[in-house]
Structure 1
Amino acid sequence: MKSNSLQKVLFVILTLLFSASTFAHALWIETKAIGTKGKAQKIDIYFGEFSDKDITKTAKWFSDIKDFSLVLITPSKKEIKLTSTALEDKYQASFIPDEEGVYTVTMHHTVKDVYGTMKLDYNSSATVTVGNPSKGNEATANTNIISLFSKEITAAKKNGKITVNALYDAKIAKSQKMKVIAPNGWEKELWSNENGEISFTPLWSGNYMVEFAYTEKSEGEYNGKKYNEIWKMATYFIAVK
């Protein structure tokens, strides 16, 4: 009897640990912040643990995450759906800029399988500046329900202040917790101010990730399974010189 009880407890603990590691995983976009008119711009989509440099091989991406939607918003607000190709550890897409300004790349996917009682909703974005840094350079270019944005991403430098704006449901995300992850895995949690902004000063050069996760209490049924929460995450990649 005691043995059976112990096995049940261990099963519950292992299930919780597995669930926690699954939800900790993120989808994110990586691309160069500056592009060139007429030259192909590569976009890479990864899944895994950014802080641990633990990248999941595409053949092992769980559920239907590989079916994410990737959309390019041009400086003149045209929306173009991009097609990506599976490589060993990432999906890759590209586009050729044909006008000057700031292009916004958005990724979105709601996972078809409900995990426990939670519906998972992944969002990511990146901006590419081609020539004119003003046209199209605005947070609202991203139409995802949860998003992050930095207006001066091309100027991101070591020891220079970086400000990131957060939006939720097209509104400023006030008093929300964000996470900044440095190239060496160092993490810091920050709370957005009244303008939905967080600011940080990078101490190292390299690639940074900003994450914004929000859990919405909502009951329903999705693909035949009930849920009582919707977990939404936005990721934003910043290359610091």
Structure 2
Amino acid sequence: MYYVKQLLVAMIVLFGGNQMVQAHAIWIESNPMGIKNQSHTIRIYYGEYASGEIEKTKDWYSDLSQLKLNLVNPDNQAELKLTDKGDYLEASFVPVQEGVYQIFVSHPAKELGGTTRYEFLAQSHIQVGKGTAYSAVPLSAHFIFQNKVFKTNDQVEIQLLRGNSPVANEEILVMSPKGWSKSYKTDHQGKIKAEAIWPGTYVIENSHMADQSGNWNDKTYSKNWQGLTASFQVK
């Protein structure tokens, strides 16, 4: 099966004293175009995407292998059953109507990194047929960009929202399939315009660290890190 890589990249930054001890990412691979009444497969990997390093699921950090994959279709929301394949988690569903199907993950890691709570947010979408029925992603932060396959040299407009409000003056990191990456600063409308220089999958990421106190799994934290990712395809 041909998979178009859609990445869910969320960096785990853990400190033992003042030393960084781990930095890995999770990503989703799925064809962004689906066919009505045909099974559609989704895979979730963990490792270092840029270097092609994929961790066995038994070695995934904390409880990440227990994450939940959610699907929002034009009518309702459902959790997709994940199967452990050793190198990745896999799920599938059969779209029964045309429209835009949203895939998302919202997973706070069970373990703290020092006194920081880490929360992983990611979104993706699958276009089925020509239907335009569209459901919003139920995430506390999310990206908005055109639901299409872009062409090389296109300017891709991306907007960052937290809740329903645009987020100004925040960085969005855009990573290309060729190893090139660039950090952009959002304008007063929470928007950037990214260059689509090469064909392939581009990953966009926003990391947000907030001073926030609370109790998580019987441990006290003083900061909350939230990583949000999505991807778009260029041909």
Q: TM-score, normalised by structure 2?
A: 0.87
**1:45 equivalent in alignment to 2:44:** yes
**In 1, Cα distance between equivalents of 2:39 and 2:230:** 21
Confirm or deny that 1:115 pairs with 2:113.
yes
Q: Distance in 1 between matches of 2:83 and 2:233?
A: 23
Mark the structure with the bigger radius of gyration: 1
Quote how far apart the aligned CAs of 1:94 are.
1.0
Structure 2 residue aligned with 1:135, among 130, 133, 136?
Answer: 133
8 Å CA contact 2:149–2:233 kept in 1: the answer is no
Alignment of 1:215 with 2:213, yes or no, is no
Q: Which residue of 2 aligns with 1:224?
A: 218
Matched, 1:16 2:19: yes
* 1:155-178 Cα deviation digits (max 9, x unpaired): 312211212222223322222111
Classify the secondary structure of the residue corresponding to 2:33.
Answer: coil
2:31 and 2:38 map into 1 onto residues whose CA distance is: 12
Shift in Å at residue 13 of structure 1?
8.3
* 1:1-241 pair list within 5 angstroms: 16-18=19-21, 21-22=22-23, 25-76=24-75, 78-136=76-134, 141-152=136-147, 154-241=148-235
Cα separation, partners in 2 of 1:208 and 1:132, compared to 1, 3 Å: same
Following TM superposition, by how much is the alpha carbon of 1:181 offset from its aligned partner in structure 2, in angstroms? Answer: 0.8
Give the letter for the 1:99 counterpart: Q
CA distance in structure 2 between the aligned counterparts of 1:166 and 1:135, rounded to whole angstroms:
22
Q: 1:220·1:228 contact (CA, 8 Å) conserved in 2?
A: yes
Aligned-residue CA RMSD in angstroms? 1.9
- Rounded to whole Å, the distance in 1 between the matches of 2:44 and 2:144 is 18
Of stretches 36-45 and 81-90 in structure 1, the one that deviates more from structure 2 is: 81-90
- What is the alpha-carbon distance in structure 1 between the residues aligned to residue 108 and residue 43 of structure 2? 19
Return the TM-score normalized by structure 1.
0.85
Q: Tell me the SS of whatever aligns to 2:97.
A: coil
Identify unmatched segments of 5+ residues in structure 1.
1-11
Deviations 1:37-72 (A, max 9, x none): 011111111222333333322121011111212111
Q: In 1, distance between residues paired with 2:109 and 2:164?
A: 22
Q: Distance in 2 between matches of 1:178 and 1:115?
A: 23
Q: Distance in 1 between matches of 2:87 and 2:167?
A: 33
**What percentage of residue pairs aligned between the two structures are identical?**
28
Number of residue pairs matched by the alignment: 221
Aligned equivalents of 1:89 and 1:40: distance in 2?
A: 21
**Residue identity opposite 2:112 in structure 1:** V
Aligned residue for 1:155, secondary structure, equals: coil
Distance 1:195 1:84 in 2: 37
Partner amino acid, structure 2, of 1:196: G
Runs of 4 or more off by more than 3 Å in structure 1?
Answer: 12-15
